[in-house]
Structure 1
Amino acid sequence: MISNQILQTTIDGLKGITRIDLCICDTEGKVLASTFPEAEEYENSILSFVESPADSQVIQGYQFFKVFDEHQLEYILLAKGSSDDVYMVGKLAAFQIQNLLVAYKERFDKDNFIKNLLLDNLLLVDIYNRAKKLHIETNVRRVVFLIETKQEKDVNALETVRSLFATKTKDFITAVDEKNIILVKEVKPNEDYADLEKTASVILDMLSSEAMTKVRVAYGTVVNDIKEVSRSYKEAKMALDVGKIFYNGKNVVAYGTLGIGRLIYQLPLPLCRMFIREIFDGKSPDEFDEETLTTINKFFENSLNVSETSRQLYIHRNTLVYRLDKLQKSTGLDLRVFEDAITFKIALMVVKYMKYMENLDY
């Protein structure tokens, strides 16, 4: 459960303090971590010690210790030397490794619990029972952040997020797929959605500068009970998808700011196709030439203001009016009329959604 790297770092640190060589082996005599090169020579002695009833023993000038995970023998520890001081250091080292086992097991159990919680794999009664057993508070305000990395299994990104939040006992970092890092974060009573936006920006900046990776960050709404955490996760997932479709220029997307995009995202594709056929008589609004699309988008950006749009496009007002008249003839919609403008704007968004969903099928 504990990586060999962690074990090596632990005994390196202990040797640095005590100046006594240490070695950790599994129950089959294989060396997992060691501070001296000849550790592999003691494989037979280790196998004999495993079978013996003793918890510690001096063999060939080394102190041998058994390290248990609860009642299961997990590791054999060797301390070089047979003096009382070496025995004491060996016992301390065995105690330290046993504590590491407990800590990592608890972390593993918590990680499994959070994953199953996010994926709705737990019954309501199991959520509260397991949370109590793992000492996780159930009535803390929480929100789920979803961090999508460009590369699959981005270890640097994951470690950077952990360095930011893992020290906070009420925050959890996990993953349920290859590309997304999930942060279940505690929200303090005085924090609001503006603070969550700042947190998302910090994550974005840290991953860009520390892990040298570009990411997209989405987050759901704040929930007050642990059973609702999966809802915040689903909201964050939707925000990530909707952001890709309608707000491609934004790297941080909040579920609470998706607006009409959230409604369109939940429409079935057959209904979307029917809507486009009714409005445009079989044509698609994205078939217009680039000049027309630029004019339309700029007109919407300027709240249907003809004068401001023509100024920003560096064209005469009459030229803009001509383009809008031409558009009206081909579509039957006059963008200067509020109702027609809304219909056209929604149609553009529906087409974007349809294209995104159809591309996912390939």
Structure 2
Amino acid sequence: MDSFTNFLKQLSKTTGSKFNLVESNGCEIFKGFNMKNCEVISLNLSLNNKKVRLYIPKQYENNSKLLEYIITDKYKNMVSSNQKMIINILDGEKVDSNIIKNSLTFISQKCNLFIINVDGNKIEALDVINKLYEDFEMMSVIYKDDIVIIGSFDELEEHVKGIRESIICDLYCKCYISISNPISDYKNIRKSYFEALESMALGKKFCIKGEIYYYKNTLLARIIHNLKSDVKDELMCKFEDKLSGFDKDMIFTIQEFFRCELNISNTAKKLYIHRNTLIYRLNKLKKDTGFDIRNFHESVIFIVIFYLWKEKNSKYF
């Protein structure tokens, strides 16, 4: 935004035109004159879905349409240029560090990169996101099969959930989101992209519930994914039929029990069942598989087996 403001300052100086550019929330992007005691005209502009208002002294009215065109065209080109910059970074191409710093001024604020994958129209999904964050400092671009977002978000989890819900409600399509570890240096952008990409692949592979995957929470999935194939085959040969014989209630119970960190009371509340019903199911699981997942050590082994089964039987989820 700093480079855009500098452009506006130069535009005003070069053309000799006075104008103010103000966001819909009242925040001034550029102030070229004092509007007090001055007759002004105003125009509504759209800068890549960001709604702004252009104020011009009445005496410069003849320049209004030209200013509107120059400002909107410049912003469009800057957005396009920034998107190209992000794509070049993700492709591993060398990009001038000063250009990155000027374009991603928020990166020093500990920002996040996340990938959004939809089974619908990616351009429409990106449009939904841009409308949600028209007054927000971030970068968004379609890269390969996904949408990549870079921005500094307070309450990251709430933002991610909101984006996913908006896309699902507006476009009626499935939406998956994966989030890298925080970025504090532009040099880590590409690394963070691959973290989010790996999280997306593992989240889908192991059918992790919620369709929102954090890289920091995928260590277990990464360990299981990298087990030797003979170990995987041995475990599945012994337990696959037993797990496949469980109904959906039992599978859902297992998932919630691990999600609630082996807490019986919390799991029962989440499942809306009586505590005794949950205990009955856990006892049945122990009888059929030999694992009492109320015991920490046994639960660690069982969750590895359960993940491998989920990987092989994604049709159940």
* 8 A Cα contact 2:207 2:310, kept in partner: no
Unpaired runs of at least 5, structure 2: 1-60, 269-273
The correspondence for 2:289, drawn from 301, 306, 327, is 327
Letter in 1 for 2:87: K
In structure 2, relative to structure 1, the CA distance for the partners of 1:95 and 1:316 (3 Å cut) is: closer
In structure 2, relative to structure 1, the CA distance for the partners of 1:292 and 1:128 (3 Å cut) is: same
Per the TM alignment, residue 196 of structure 1 is displaced from its structure 2 partner at its CA by 0.5
1:285 paired with 2:253, answer no
Question: What TM-score does the superposition give when structure 1 sets the normalisation length?
Answer: 0.55
SS at match of 2:93: coil
| Corresponding residue for residue 276 of structure 1 | 232
Per the TM alignment, residue 110 of structure 1 is displaced from its structure 2 partner at its CA by 0.7
* 8 A Cα contact 2:177 2:200, kept in partner: yes
The correspondence for 1:312, drawn from 269, 277, 284, is 277
Identity percentage of aligned residues: 16
Could you report, residue by residue, the CA deviation over 1:3-29 in whole angstroms, capped at 9, with x for unpaired residues?
xxxxxxxxxxxxxxxxxxxxxxxxxxx
The correspondence for 1:219, drawn from 169, 179, 182, is 179
Q: How does 1:1-362 map to 2 (within 5 A)?
A: 89=62, 92-117=64-89, 119-123=90-94, 126-131=95-100, 135-137=103-105, 139-155=108-124, 157-168=125-136, 170-178=137-145, 180-187=146-153, 191=154, 195-265=155-225, 267=226, 271=228, 273-279=229-235, 282-286=237-241, 288-291=243-246, 298=253, 301=257, 303=262, 311-312=276-277, 320=283, 324-325=286-287, 327-328=289-290, 338-353=296-311
* 8 A Cα contact 2:180 2:214, kept in partner: yes
Distance 1:144 1:286 in 2: 40
Letter in 2 for 1:291: F
Per the TM alignment, residue 355 of structure 1 is displaced from its structure 2 partner at its CA by 5.9
Question: What TM-score does the superposition give when structure 2 sets the normalisation length?
Answer: 0.61
Distance 1:299 1:216 in 2: 23
* 8 A Cα contact 1:147 1:182, kept in partner: yes
Distance 2:287 2:110 in 1: 53
Letter in 2 for 1:143: N
Larger radius of gyration: 1
Unpaired runs of at least 5, structure 1: 1-87, 357-362
In structure 2, relative to structure 1, the CA distance for the partners of 1:341 and 1:186 (3 Å cut) is: closer
SS at match of 1:122: coil
Distance 1:206 1:145 in 2: 16
In structure 2, relative to structure 1, the CA distance for the partners of 1:99 and 1:312 (3 Å cut) is: same
Distance 1:113 1:228 in 2: 15
Letter in 1 for 2:187: K
In structure 2, relative to structure 1, the CA distance for the partners of 1:296 and 1:105 (3 Å cut) is: closer
Letter in 2 for 1:276: K
Distance 1:154 1:113 in 2: 19
* 8 A Cα contact 2:120 2:171, kept in partner: no
In structure 2, relative to structure 1, the CA distance for the partners of 1:285 and 1:292 (3 Å cut) is: farther
In structure 2, relative to structure 1, the CA distance for the partners of 1:115 and 1:286 (3 Å cut) is: farther
Which structure would you say has the larger RCO, counting Cα contacts within 8 Å and 6 or more residues apart?
Answer: 2
Letter in 2 for 1:159: D
